[in-house]
Chain A
């Protein structure tokens, strides 16, 4: 089962148009971009064929790994919790 299929088993309430995480590629070097694609346990960061960082907030597990991994680059990532009643809802946890 791939990661997208796994995420589809989870319960999410997506806050449309109001992402709780916003990456700023202009404040990142290539190493930081690579790091994001590998650390996120939900595999939400990918790079398109033009080298642009693509981020899909909808499957976010709210772990904070991406923020900590880029802690050395202030401003590279805006990271917040989703607003109350949005985001992932673990049924087991």
Chain B
């Protein structure tokens, strides 16, 4: 007899969701987390799209430690000395729980979700590091951690983007520098009222702002700024492949971003309280590993289930959904008494039928488009700046019609390039 029906490695969003759902269905579940408490090893940019957690814990935002509900979306294109921003403000359109999104801080949020799993009846052990899979005649029968060996019918690897265990299990290869980006982020403390005033928000309302161009110094990547209750998240994400060839270190790029004339006043007076970094899987379907094997499932970032579309980043809602669907698959396996890949492969079918792999398929060309359209990170922000400079510069020299102002600027980038990239982009993103 195995010690547990299921052992889940990693109490991030994917792992805790899976543990919660399985425990609630009456399975015996062990959840292992290497951090002292769930969340202390985890970093995100900022925004959780709530729809998938809403399905697992309806009304979760009422009790979970969410920071602010996003009502303001900003997308900015930056050059060294300018910033063009599209600002969409709507307190009502994204209000419904089915599409609401919230800023979250993982140390607190993950601890809450793990406690829900515990309440549902799962055993949570932290800190506990799963060192390797435990096998008997080749069959996975549990995990090893330090001196301990623990057995289960099935092991769910929700150990995050680095997933050392996913590699040891042979389900995935080492990550490619083209498929992951490195994110660095600062938590900047500011009083609630100042945040409200500065960003035009009421209590509880939040803003998300992504930046292209200057922040990544033309490399594939961008900057972000999210509002929490009493702090801001300011950060940068750049692919490891580009970063490896960079002349400037990542922390120095972040410093320049914070000092940018458009950003500096937004963070003025804020107190830096934490500096973190983490990888983001961005390879899309191209990096999708095998998602299951006999007695084994791969969840969330460990499975590369994450999408960076430039105007939005989504990994947390996919992680939650993958945890939910993995749990359903294990519950079916328990009913059938069959934990082989015959039943566990149903996990991938469930992902295919859900938004997770549907959305990743819809946006399957996004990673390629983003990586191979460097103009997005240099020429286009510069073009936007030039066009707006022409529009708003009044210096007494004879004015020209808008078209005449814009044409020579656009022809610098090339009309064909603009049309081609526009078409390709709107098909990929």
Contact = CB atoms under 8 A, between A and B. Distances in A.
Contact of A92 (B145, B184, B187): B187
A46 B129 CA distance: 30
Contact of B164 (A7, A63, A81): A81
B272 A1 contact: yes
A90 B34 contact: no
Contact of A63 (B35, B39, B182): B182
A91 B107 contact: yes
Interface in A1-46: 1, 3, 6-7, 9-10, 35, 37-43
Nearest to B159: A81
A62 B247 CA distance: 23
A43 B40 contact: no
Given A71-B175, A83-B129, A90 B251 contact: no
Contacts of B68: none
B244 A69 contact: yes
B244 A88 contact: no
Contact of B277 (A35, A42, A71, A87): A42
Contacts of A64: 161-162, 175, 279
A35 B43 CA distance: 23
Contact of A93 (B39, B127, B145, B162): B39
A88 B240 contact: no
A93 B106 CA distance: 5
B310 interface: no
A84 B129 contact: yes
Interface string B71-91: 000000000000000000000
A92 B274 contact: yes
A1 B39 CA distance: 26
B153 interface: no
A71 B272 contact: no
B411 interface: no
A78 to B, nearest CB: 12
A93 B279 contact: no
A76 interface: no
A63 B275 CA distance: 12
A90 B246 contact: no
Given A38-B244, A69-B244, A88 B41 contact: yes
A58 interface: no
B33 to A, nearest CB: 9
A80 B244 CA distance: 21
A1 B41 CA distance: 24
A68 B273 contact: no
A92 B277 contact: no
Nearest to B163: A64
Contacts of A65: 182, 240, 243, 277, 279
Contact of A3 (B107, B182, B251): B251
A43 B251 CA distance: 7
Among A37, A65, A83, A91: residue with most chain B CB under 10 A: A65
Interface in B160-188: 161-162, 164, 174-177, 180, 182, 184, 186-187
Contacts of A87: 41
B280 to A, nearest CB: 10
Contact of A62 (B39, B41, B175, B187): B41
B248 A93 contact: no
B241 to A, nearest CB: 8
Interface in B259-315: 272-279
Nearest to A84: B127
Contacts of A67: 162, 174
B251 A6 contact: yes
Interface in B105-126: 105-108, 110, 126
Contact of A71 (B105, B174, B245, B249): B174
Interface of B: 34-36, 39-44, 105-108, 110, 126-129, 145-146, 161-162, 164, 174-177, 180, 182, 184, 186-187, 231, 240, 243-251, 272-279
Interface of A: 1, 3, 6-7, 9-10, 35, 37-43, 61-65, 67-69, 71, 80-81, 83-85, 87-93
16 contacts: A1-B272, A38-B247, A38-B249, A39-B182, A39-B244, A39-B246, A62-B41, A63-B182, A84-B129, A88-B40, A88-B276, A90-B41, A90-B42, A92-B108, A92-B276, A93-B44
Given A37-B249, A61-B276, A84-B146, 7 more contacts: A9-B274, A39-B182, A64-B161, A68-B177, A81-B164, A84-B129, A88-B276
For the complex of A and B, the 7 pairs showing the least CB-CB separation, nearest first, are A93-B106, A41-B277, A84-B127, A6-B275, A93-B107, A41-B184, A61-B277
